[in-house]
Structure 1
Amino acid sequence: MNKKVLAVILGGGQGTRLYPLTAQRSKPAVPIAGKYRLVDIPISNCINSNIKRMFVLTQFNSASLNKHIKHTYQFSYFSEAFVDILAAEQTPENKGWFQGTADAVRQSLHHFKGYESEYIMILSGDQLYQMDFNKMLKAHIQSEAKITIASLPVNAKDATSFGILKTDDNNTITSFIEKPSEDLLPDWQSEVSDNMKAQGKNYLASMGIYIFNKDLLIELLEGTDTMDFGKEIIPQSIETHKVLSYPYEGYWTDIGNIESFFEANIDLTSDMPQFNLFNKGKSVLTRPRVLPPSKISGTTLEKSIIAEGSIIHGSRIANSVIGIRSRVGKGTVIENAYVMGSNRFLDLEEINNARATGVPHVGIGDRCFITNCIIDKNAKIGDDVRITGGKHLDDVETETYVVRDGIVVVKNGATIESGTII
């Protein structure tokens, strides 16, 4: 275990752009790829990099996240490894909620600054990527930097959503701007690889992944009122300390809204997905569940992921992710959709009672057609339901579903009555 580094994973704010998936859970607890949670990504990257002391900072809807981490990341009693949740708390010094990324770390500093370490790694809890943090740490140490920022080439369209930086020939950051307006972009182009140039990615964006010398981080935070790393700490530090850019050109996506979340999940079903779940050296870890294998009867499957514990009778499933303990009825077609599954199995008595009373049970009923849709956990979809998402739909919210960017999101535990057309 690398004792030089402590990892701090930021749980994010209310996650309003991922609503309604964040209505009852924090962003890091949102299910991804049918069986994981978003927080599993940074934690897995840390464990695969032999960084096994982690704090997860959170304040909104943290119960499901606490439960997931408690049941998932259990190390040996004789190990110093841990993943601890630090929820926002009132103290004599801090009487309010976290006001930004830097403020979250400042308010939690007293919990971890006494641990043996030389470096603090700050990570986001809502990004999808696979990175060897040891390489980034090595670059940080060899360059004698005080702060290192992982950077990624992006195109002009995306550049306005990120912190954009410029470097010298030694990758030392010389200037930084947070979310520049489009008219400022021509002055912020950087030298990137030919491969990135060919894709029109001429701007270096901060990935929100930082390594700080621990002593400097404490100095920058204690006794100050800075609220955010990207808007305040990083721009200010460039003037006074050596800040290094660590270039990264692998797959990385910020799960910032429903559209990016949906695309990231559907991409997992492609022949060569950008995020590789089958990479032996970079395994994504999650809660070990004792579930039976999935049972599929008479279903045509095309480029789909089926998680364990599912019972599938549908006629066709294509380009879709089907989560744990999912039920899909006879004659149902699912295309380009993410079905998150359910938290428990139904027994036969529950299913028979639901059928006798005409009330949908958890899962998807018979003869449904579902496309361009996310179905959150424990939703009850009746028979003969048609959900046809697409750009023809306006953004809207109802009691049972939300439409965002043409994607229909059925809410957690919602009931869609038989015969409904969306």
Structure 2
Amino acid sequence: MTDQQPSLSRPTRPDPGVATILLAGGKGTRLHDLTAAESKPAVPFAGRNRIVDFAMANVVRSGLDRLLVATQFAPATLNHHLPARWGGHFPQGGMLLRDGRDRYLGTADTVRQNWRQVGEWGSDQVLVLAADHIYDMDYAGLIAAHRASGAAVTVAVDVVPRTQACGFGVMQTGDGGRILSFLEKPADPPAIPGEPDRAMVSMGIYVFDAAWLKNALFGSNIEALDFGHEIIPAAVAQGLAMAYRLPAGPTGLPYWRDVGTLDALRQAHLDFVTARPARLPRISPASEWHLGRGSVMMPGAAVPPSARLTCAIVAPGTRVPHGLVVGEDPDEDARWFRREGRTVLITQAMLNRREALRIPAILPARQGVALHPRDVA
């Protein structure tokens, strides 16, 4: 893995016709303790970075300088991190943070409640992004394809194993990429014709014609709350939705990961050990966060050389004790830590509980000599 950092210099001709809305309020419940008091986009990734930084890097490289970040759950970290790390890439007033705690009722409702800003920018297209995925993408290609198609909405798509597609919007397309059907998180995802083991899924990235989207958000007596359940299916029913396949990234292959589970988050970290599949500035050297044996360590954590951790995530600020063994005995792991799939999450609270409950057995004294508890631990 190279330490050379890619350039994030903004293109000399920013695209003023696009208003970008970054949905960064996700709670990320499937990451459990990592998001108990932190939003999913703010979860640390590969050292000093956070998950949200991938979308932000893509925005900057794509020449987009009108960005509204909609936060909701536990926004404090993002409110500090985004201006500090990314504010210098935007003109004054070009990046706005809007706190929607207890107000936003869904993805579409978030855009509706911030529509006044879209109107003030006078944009012809609205780019809606998810802030909680690890991926590499130049949005300029997506926007150009959308403009050329004349569609009401263009959905960025990738292909995943059909067994994994039930957590996404799944679609089938016809000639030219027109979307013929769209199902949000179906229990039995339809396969790509001729490819029974694969499905085409939404990346949660959309480009809308602004006039069409305004009518969809405000022109109905029943207010739509969600893009996947209501807005996108409406465009598909009108024959006005197109799909845009994710192009290849730095490795020559497309890279997009929904890191919504502990297994997926750990595996995405490991993808950066041998190669950098998605461009990100200032990525920390692997030696700072990769522990070997398929394990990763988050900022502020400490792991002594005597510990043996396999397929583990060490949460921020966690101090692993000497000699700890994790990832070799599933029953022992599950007793003290959170184990899902192959991944074991270790937090300081879990270690504290383990220390408090592992009371040494009281062995009978032999020959009148009492044993010290450390001798029987």
TM-score, scaled to structure 2: 0.80
In structure 2, the residue corresponding to 1:363 is in which secondary structure? coil
Report the equivalent of 1:84.
96
1:163 shift after superposition: 1.4
- The answer on 1:190 being equivalent to 2:190 is no
Correspondence 1:369 to 2:305: no
Distance 1:47 1:201, change over 3 A: farther
Which residue in the other structure is 2:251 paired with?
Answer: none
> Deviations along 1:97-127, whole A, 9 cap, x unmatched?
3222112222222343311311111111111
* 1:318 match: none
Whole-angstrom distance in 2 between the partners of 1:104 and 1:75: 26
Q: Deviations over 1:364-406 (max 9, x none)?
A: 235222221111111122222222367x3488586xx432224
Shift in alpha-carbon separation, 1:181–1:58, aligned structure 2, 3 A: same
User: Which deviations, in whole Å up to 9, do the C-alpha atoms of 1:261-317 show, x marking residues without a partner?
Assistant: 1111112113x45x24xxxxxx41369xxxxxx9xxxxxxxxx8124xxxxxxxxxx
Matched residue, 2:199:
203
Q: Tell me the distance in 2 between the aligned counterparts of 1:222 and 1:75.
A: 34
Alignment match of 1:157 (pick from 151, 158, 163)? 163
Cα 1:42/1:412, change in 2 over 3 Å: farther
Q: Which residue of 2 aligns with 1:306?
A: 287
Measured at CA, do residues 101 and 63 of structure 1 come closer, stay the same or move farther in structure 2, by a change above 3 Å?
same
Alignment counterpart, residue 215 of structure 2, candidates 213, 219, 222: 219
Q: Counterpart in 2 of 1:9?
A: 22
Q: Secondary structure at the residue paired with 1:113?
A: helix
Report the counterpart of residue 262 of structure 2 in structure 1.
258
In the alignment, what sits opposite 1:110?
116
Given candidates 147, 152, 161, the residue that maps to 2:153 is 147
Kept after mapping to 2: 8 A contact 1:146/1:243: yes
CA contact (8 A) 2:180 2:239 kept: no
Map 1:60-99 → 2, pairs under 5 A? 60-75=73-88, 79-80=91-92, 82-88=94-100, 96-99=102-105
Rate the CA distance shift 1:140–1:19 in 2: closer, same or farther, 3 A: same
Q: Which letter maps to 1:341?
A: P
Distance of aligned partners of 1:115 and 1:175 in 2 relative to their CA distance in 1, 3 Å threshold: same
Instruction: Indicate if the aligned counterparts of 2:184 and 2:228 stay in contact, CA closer than 8 A.
Output: yes
- Structure 2: runs of 5+ lacking an equivalent: 1-13, 248-253, 359-377
| In structure 1, distance between residues paired with 2:176 and 2:81 | 42
Kindly provide the amino acid, as one letter, of the partner of residue 218 in structure 1.
Answer: K
Equivalent positions of 1:5-44 (< 5 A) are 5-44=18-57
Residues 26 and 41, structure 2, Cα contact 8 Å, conserved in 1: no
Matches within 5 A, 1:256-335: 256-270=260-274, 272=275, 275-276=277-278, 283-285=279-281, 305-307=286-288, 321-322=289-290, 334-335=292-293
Amino acid at match of 1:211: V
Matched AA of 1:21: L
Q: Deviations over 1:331-365 (max 9, x none)?
A: xx7521111122xxxxxxxxxxxxxxxxxxx6223
2:245 aligned residue = 247
Q: In the alignment, what sits opposite 1:51? A: 64
Mapped pair 1:232 → 2:244: no
More strand by share: 1
Report deviation, 1:138.
0.9
Instruction: Describe the SS at the equivalent of 1:114.
Output: helix
Residue identity matched to 2:320: I
**In the TM superposition, what is the alpha-carbon distance from 1:69 to its structure 2 partner?**
0.8
Residue in structure 1 matching 2:338, options 399, 402, 414: 402
1:162 CA drift (Å): 1.9
- Which letter does structure 1 place at the counterpart of 2:343? I
Measured against aligned partners, the alpha-carbon deviations of 1:173-208 in whole angstroms (never above 9, x if no partner) come to 1221222232x63xx5336xxxxx5xx654221111
CA distance in 2, matches of 1:415, 1:58: 32
Could you list the structure 1 runs, at least 4 aligned residues long, displaced by more than 4 angstroms after superposition.
393-398, 412-421
**8 A Cα contact 1:17 1:257, kept in partner:** yes
Point out the structure with the larger helix share: 2
- The answer to which of 62-71 and 105-114 deviates more is 105-114
In 1, distance between residues paired with 2:106 and 2:318?
33
Name the CA distance, whole Å, in 1 between partners of 2:263 and 2:161: 18
Note if contact 2:312-2:326 (Cα within 8 Å) is conserved in structure 1: yes
Q: Following the alignment from structure 1 to structure 2, what is the Cα–Cα distance between the partners of residues 238 and 404?
A: 37
- Structure 1 residue identity aligned to 2:231: I
Alpha-carbon distance between aligned partners in 1 of 2:328 and 2:107, rounded to the nearest angstrom: 35
In the alignment, structure 1 segments of 5+ residues that lack a partner are 90-95, 192-196, 277-282, 288-293, 295-303, 308-320, 323-332, 343-361
Aligned 8 A contact 1:397 1:403 in 2: no
Q: Which residue of 2 aligns with 1:348?
A: none
Quickly say closer, same or farther: Cα 1:393–1:286, change in 2 above 3 A.
farther
Q: Contact 1:69–1:83 (CA<8 Å) still a contact in 2?
A: no
Cα shift readout 1:75-97 (whole Å, capped 9, x = no counterpart):
279x35733221115xxxxxx53
**1:194: which partner in 2?**
none
| Structure 2 CA distance for aligned equivalents of residues 105 and 234 of structure 1 | 14
Alpha-carbon distance between aligned partners in 2 of 1:261 and 1:371, rounded to the nearest angstrom: 15
Q: Which amino acid letter does the alignment assign opposite residue 270 of structure 2?
A: I
Distance between the aligned counterparts of 1:76 and 1:176, measured in 2? 36
Aligned residues: CA RMSD: 2.9
Give the distance between the partners of 2:168 and 2:139, measured in 1 at CA: 21
Which range moved further: 246-255 or 210-219?
Answer: 246-255
